Structures are given as structure tokens and as C-alpha cells.
Amino acid sequence: MSTVLGAVQSIVVDDAKYLGRGQSLSCQLNPWLNTIIGGRGTGKSTSLEFLRIALKRKGEIPKSLEKEFTKYSQTSKDRQDEGLLKDSTKITVGFRKDGGRFRITWSNTDDIYDIEEETAPGVWCASEGDIAQRFPVRIYSQKQIFELAKHPQALLQVVDDAPVVNHRDWQLKWDELVSKYLSLRAQEREVQAGLQEESVTKGQLEDVKRKLDVFEKAGHADVLKGYQLRQNQSKAMDSWVTTWEGSAEQVRDISRSLLPAELDLQYFDIGNTDDKELFDTVKGIRATFEKLQIEMNSIAQRIDDVKNSWNQARSDLGISKRITAASQEYTGLLGQLSAADAGDPSAYGVLVKQRQDFEDKLKGFDKKRETLTQHQKSAEEYLVKLHEHRALITKLREDFLKDTLVGNSYVQINVIPFGNKLTVEEEFRNLIGRSSGGFDRDIGVVDGDEGLLAYLTQDQSKTMDDKIEKLKSSLLAIHENDTIAVDSCKDRRFVSHIQGLTPEQIDRIQCWFPGDSLDIRYSLKNGESFKPVEQGSPGQKTAALLAFILSYGNEPLVLDQPEDDLDNHLIYDLIVTQLREIKQKRQVLVVTHNANIVVNGDAENVIALDIRSGQTRIVTQGGLQEPSIRDEICRVMEGGREAFTQRYKRINAVIT
């Protein structure tokens, strides 16, 4: 059994147009099956829609129904206005979860939400967090359920909200992978741009070498080559010294930071034996560090001595004398060249330095090539990770639906990977910067005969992965001016447009995949002859979706008149039977006109509403065992007495 994700304890409405004026409308709920009953227009649906507002669930209303639901969140300006809120309306929801009690309050005055937690009996303190995430609840009106059946793609959002699917966390990981891939591709292009200088540098090096040949072939090659060698040797010695000549100061820096801070004495008493023991220990440790400090300063001094010894010994080394001699010979040669007007004597030194600089720069290009290869490899690896992560969300959805609907005789729901045809063209046009339309023959449509998007549905022998890859590779070929790909286009302006896409746009196309879709089927009879839900009657469509909604989840479930469009057989076999089962593991709140749901669903809590002086009031509230509840059910609900008779027979059959 899954863990219960909390329960709504109360819904309190103050100063709405028809609810909570004069006195609060306070619906107290229990953790099992709660039902709200009453005649038409008594505010039953309004109370649930106010719950939706307070728990930030308005975004779950399908766009096709938004206009119809506007009145619940609209402030009334006069009596004729449809709005059901007043400027001062306040909605407070009590919620219990994880052993704690919370209070969520929404005020229409400034459209402000507050969360409070009861930290002690009667003591409420402010709490933080996302209301929809912290206080999960599922709210469905009958019209919502019917819309889900008409537009199965909307049901995917419900699937994605399931904890085992957790699309929110999946999306965070997806965004992270996309960002990393785009970053690697950008770095790759940056390195490639730097490599374009390589051929220029090689040409510059050849020119310098040619000029040096003039000097080196003028009968003074040995002097010039010797000078070049000795200069390189001198540089190598200097580079070696720089690796250690600062070591003494580094050791002194460590020594200066080595000594521990003084112990803060304000919390200790020198006269206390335990405290004195601590003082002595601390004093001993500081003494040890002071000795280490002295030793490190001694090491630093020894390093200084080594450095001084090197400086004194270097000039006496044979190699140093050869370096000096080569420099003197070179200086003499320059004098001779100058005296003989044999060219710019200073040019040789400049050219030697230029040659060294260019050679060093070319070595840098080798490193850049290594970096480029690594970026390309990493980008490919992240592209593979993106493919795997995209496949993961499909797998999570498939596993969830398989586990949820196993043995369900009313509905089958299967995931169609990459099958969302409704948004493919819009998404693709946004990617290539052509959301305004145009290029219809080259872009095409899903299920069409021509254009790039037609690849997604043509050639049934190929997998969807292969079809998506073909679409992307064809687009990339046009971008790279591939002759065959370009010639296949119908409009040259489309070619120009694609070739004008930025590298990042091309990279984002590589990260794109069509969304999944759902195939929903309903059973005509006892789990047999499943047919596409699109072919069903309104009642069959509603039954199929209700079967799914009632099959999973452990957060509170709120249903508004789920019995509409259903015959009595379906109401009992589907809704009543399921409610009796699921209320053991999750809280349920149902607004209904059907006595069977209340009576044979064994509702533990019945809230009866009526209109008194133009305001919704609670007439009575309690369990089915209370006479006032039974009387109200029989008074306002058609088939109330028959439902009680059926209930007594059912209970009696179990007892006997």
C-alpha cells in the first residue's frame, strides 16, 4: 500500500459573493470518503473551485474550459456580474501531512498566499515553500474529465505528475544535459576559430626561416648557430631556476600562517582543574607549532643559501662561459656586418626571436587540436546521454501506466513514443525561426507527402529514432550546402533561410525530439473489445478516464459530479466500487447528485448544502448513521431511499 500524501482537513470561505458572508462557510473533512450534496445551485461546485484556487491548481484547467471557469476566480462588481469573489474574499484550507498541521490562506485583497504550520496547539508560524508541490491534491470536474478524454494529450500532464514518473526532475536533468551540450559545442567552435590562424602562422615561420638562411649562409653560420644554441641554453637554465627560486618565500608564507590562534578564554576558569588541563594541552600544542615554525624558517633560509650558491656558481660553470663567449662572438659579427654594410645587423636577433615565437605558437595549435578532439568527443557523449534521457521519460511513462492499469477492465492507455503530432510543426518551426509560416512544401506537415516533417510518418519499416535522425541530417545537409539536399528543396529561399541559421540553432535542433502521445482505449464489455476512446460516446469517454483517475495516486482526490454522462450500471460498478476501495489509502472528496455514490460508497462524512437568505449554508454534516443525514439524502437526492435499501441488503448479505 502506498503512503498517504496528507489530507485536507477543512475548507473555510469568508466573504465570497454567495458563500461565507455574515458567517464563515466551514466544511470539515475526514481522511476517508467525504461527499458534498445539495440541490442545484447550492454552491457545491463553487466550494471545490475555491479549494482549487487556494491550493494553486488553476493551471490544471484545460484551455478550452478556462472561459467557463473564469467566474470562480473573478471579482464581482455588481449583482449582474458573473464573478463569485468579493474584494475581501478569503479562502483558508487546513491540511495535515507527515504528522503536522498546516494552514494555507489566500486573500483576494492583494492576491496573497500564506502558509502557516501549527508548531504547538493553537500556535501558528509562517512557513515557506511551493503550495502546489508541498500540498498535492488532484481536482477534477466532470467537464475536465471529458476534456481529457477528448484530448488525450492533456492526460500526459497527469501521468507526468505521478511521483514514479516525476517529469519535473526529469526536465531539470534534461535542461542540464542540453546546456552542457550547447556549451561544449560553443567551446568547440571557439577552438576551431583559433585553429584557423595555424596556416597563417606556418607561412610567417617559413618567411622568417628564409630570412635567417640569408644570414646563416653568409659565411658566419657557425657563429650565428652557436649564438642561437647558447641563447636557448640560457633560456632553459632561466626557466629551470624560476621553478624553485620562490620556494623560500612560499615556505615562509606557510610558516607565518602555521601558528594556531589563541584559545578564547572567556568561557574558561584558570582555577578549574579541567580547564587548566585544557590550557596546558593547548599551550603544549602551540609550543609544538612554534618549534615547527622555527624549523620551517630554517628550511627557508637553507633554500636562500642554495639560491645564493647557485647565483655565485652559475657564472663559473663551463656552459655559462660558453654562453658568454658565443654572445661576444655574435656581437663581434654584428659589428663586422655593420661595418661592411652587409644588412641590418639587428635583424638577426629579431628574426631568431620571431622564429622561436612562431614555433611555440605552432606547438600551441597541437594542444588546441587535442582540446578540440576532446570537446568533440564530449559533445558526442552528451548527445548520446540526451538520447538516453529522452528514452527514459517514455520508459517511465510506460511503466507507470502498465503498473497502474494492470487488470483494469475499463481502459487501456499506451504511450506512443514521439507520437505527438499536434505540436510537431509548431516546435520545428520555432527551432528554425519560422514560426510565422511559409515554406510549407519544404517544411511539410506530419502525415503529409512532402517536406521534412513527412519523414516522421513515411516509411513504416523504419523506427521513429531513424526517422527523426533522417529529418535532422537532411536539415543539416541543407545547412552545409550539400548539393543533393539543396537540389531537393522546392524553394531556394528556404535554402537561404536554413543556411542562415546560427550554429546554436543547429545545435538545438540536434537536442530536439517530438513529444510522446497517448493511445487511450475503452472496453465495451468486461475488459474485452477495446476501442479508441475517440469513437466512444460521452459516457464511454468519461468512464475510461475515470477508470484511470481512480486507479492511481495517494494524494487527496477531489471529484465534481463524476457521475454525469454515466448510466447507473457504470456508476455503481466503476465509481462506487472504486471509491470503497481507494478511500482506504487516500482521502476522497466528491460533489455528487447521485445517492448511490454517497450511500453505497459508504461515505464517512456527508456535507449537505442549501441556500438560506441568498447564501450557501451547511444544513447538516455527519455520517450515514445520523438521521439528519439520511433524511437530507432522501429529500434532495433522487433514488435516495432505493440506495439505502440496496445498502442494507449489501451489508446484510455480508453479515449473513
In a domain, 520, yes or no: no
Q: Which of 516, 476, 478 is nearest to 495 (CA)?
A: 478
Same domain, 489 and 566: no
Of the candidates 415, 401, 416, 413, the one whose C-alpha atom is nearest the C-alpha of residue 530 is 413
What the block records as the C-alpha cell of 132 is 502546489
Residues 207 and 256 in one domain: yes
Q: Are residues 266 and 317 in the same domain?
A: yes
Q: Decide: 18 and 615 in contact? Cβ < 8 Å.
A: yes
Please write down the long-range contacts of 209-216, taking CB distance under 8 Å and 24 or more positions apart: 209/355, 211/347, 211/351, 212/348, 212/351, 212/352, 212/355, 214/343, 215/343, 215/347, 215/348, 215/351
229-232-236-241 Cα dihedral, nearest 10 degrees: 110
CA distance linking residue 218 with residue 346, whole number of Å: 15
* Single-letter amino acid code for the residue at 479: H
String of b and e for 295-333 (b: at least 16 CB within 10 Å)?
ebeebbeebbeebeeeeeeeeeeeebeebeebeebbeeb
- At residue 384, the 3 state secondary structure works out as helix
Number of domains in the chain: 3
111 and 205 share one domain: no
Q: Is 39 contained in some domain?
A: yes
| Whole-number pLDDT of residue 655 | 60
Task: Tell me: do 342 and 226 sit in the same domain.
Answer: yes
Question: Which burial class, exposed, middle or buried, applies to 213 when counting CB atoms under 10 A from its CB (0-12, 13-18, 19+)?
Answer: exposed
Q: In what order do the strands lie in the sheet with 588-591?
A: 138-141, 557-560, 588-591, 33-38, 605-612, 615-622
With residues binned 3-state (H G I as helix, E B as strand, rest as coil), the percentages for the chain, rounded to 5, are 55, 15, 30
Q: Let me know whether 201 and 331 are in one domain.
A: yes
Do residues 510 and 605 both lie within one domain? Answer: no
Instruction: Give the closest residue to 75 by CA, choosing from 63, 85, 67.
Output: 85
363 and 437 together in one domain? no
Give the containing element (helix H, strand E) for 521: strand 517-525
Please identify every stretch of the chain with a pLDDT value under 70, giving residue numbers as ranges: 1-4, 214-221, 337-346, 526-527, 648, 652-656
**Inside any domain, residue 412:** no
Residue-wise pLDDT tens digits, 39-76: 999 999 999 999 999 999 998 888 888 888 889 999 99
Angle at CA 405, nearest 5°, toward 400 and 408?
Answer: 180
Q: Are residues 496 and 570 in the same domain?
A: no
Q: Domain range spanning residue 586?
A: 7-137+555-655
Among residues 460, 490, 515, which one ends one of the domains? Answer: 515
Task: Quote the CA–CA distance of 13 and 93 in Å, as a whole number.
Answer: 9
CA–chain centroid gap for 137, Å, is 21
Note whether residue 449 is domain-resident.
Answer: yes
Q: Tell me, yes or no, whether 310 and 204 share the same domain.
A: yes
Q: Are residues 504 and 591 in the same domain?
A: no
- Does some domain include residue 399? no
First CA to last CA distance, the chain: 29
The last residue of one of the domains, among 373, 402, 430, is: 373
Does 146 reside within a domain?
no
The three-state secondary structure class of 491 is: coil
d(CA 571, CA 551): 15
For residue 487, tell me if it sits in a domain. Answer: yes
Residues 437 and 502 in one domain: yes
How far apart CA 433 and CA 475 sit, in angstroms, is 13
Domain stop point among 339, 356, 373: 373
pLDDT at 119: 94
Return all residues near 419 (Cβ < 8 A) that are at least 6 apart. 464, 514, 516, 517, 519
Is 166 among the domain residues?
Answer: no
CATH classification of the domain holding 647: 3.40.50.300
pLDDT for residue 341: 44
CA distances to 305, 383, 452 from 11, in Å: 84, 49, 53
Helix (H, G, I), strand (E, B) or coil at 535: helix
